Structure 1
Amino acid sequence: MSNFSDMVKYIGLSIDEAAAALDVSKDEIVRWCDTSEAPPLHIWQCLVRMLDEIRISAEEAAKSADLDQLEASDLNRVNLTVPGQAAAEFDGPKRAATAMAVATLARVFV
């Protein structure tokens, strides 16, 4: 495993999706995930942009919630989209952003 692999998994991308999102071959993704060989800087920068898009989406969803009316059952109905070109077309980033938003909203009940 590698830090690259951890980031790709955290974002929620499959090997095929990571290759498409980063515009590289699946073989390169697998090599960067399974060896100590690191991808070039522009690949890291793309992953950072995707993480930023996920974070921003989660923050906006949490900010827009009516906390005075929020019930625990509402947490299972959070649905959002991820803005931006890098993350928007894949399901993994949407799941990651939704999980972050739900975690933020769940803190209301703690």
Structure 2
Amino acid sequence: MSNFSDIMGYVGLTTGEAAAALNVSEDEIVRWCSTSDAPPLHIWQSLVRMLDEIRFSAEEAAKAADLDHLDASDLNSVQLMVPGQAASEFAGPKRAATALAVAALARVFV
């Protein structure tokens, strides 16, 4: 396992999706995930942009919620869009952003 692999898991990208999003081969993604070989800096920068898109989407969804009328059952129906080309094309980043938004909104009940 590698830090690259951990980020891939957090973002929720498959190796095929990561290869498409990062414009590299699936073999390179597998190598970076399963060995100590690290991707080049521009790949890390692309992942950081994708993580920023996910975080931004989660923050915007949480800000847009009507906290005065929020019910615990509302947490199960949070809908959001992930901006940016890389993150918006795949289900994993949307799931990650939704999870962050729901976690932020759930704090209302703590």
TM-score range, shorter chain: over 0.9
CA drift at 1:85: 1.2
Q: Give the secondary structure class of the aligned counterpart of 2:67.
A: coil
Q: Which runs of 5+ in 2 are unaligned?
A: none
Q: Which residue of 2 aligns with 1:44?
A: 44
Matches within 5 A, 1:26-105: 26-105=26-105
What is the TM-score normalised by the length of structure 2?
0.99
Find the aligned partners of 1:102 and 1:3 in 2 and give their Cα distance: 25
Find the aligned partners of 1:3 and 1:60 in 2 and give their Cα distance: 27
Q: Give the secondary structure class of the aligned counterpart of 2:87.
A: coil
Q: Which runs of 5+ in 1 are unaligned?
A: none
Q: Give the secondary structure class of the aligned counterpart of 1:9.
A: helix
Q: Which amino acid aligns with 2:104?
A: T
Question: What is the number of equivalent residue pairs in this alignment?
Answer: 110
CA drift at 1:66: 0.3
Find the aligned partners of 1:53 and 1:86 in 2 and give their Cα distance: 9
Quote the RMSD (CA, aligned, Å): 0.4
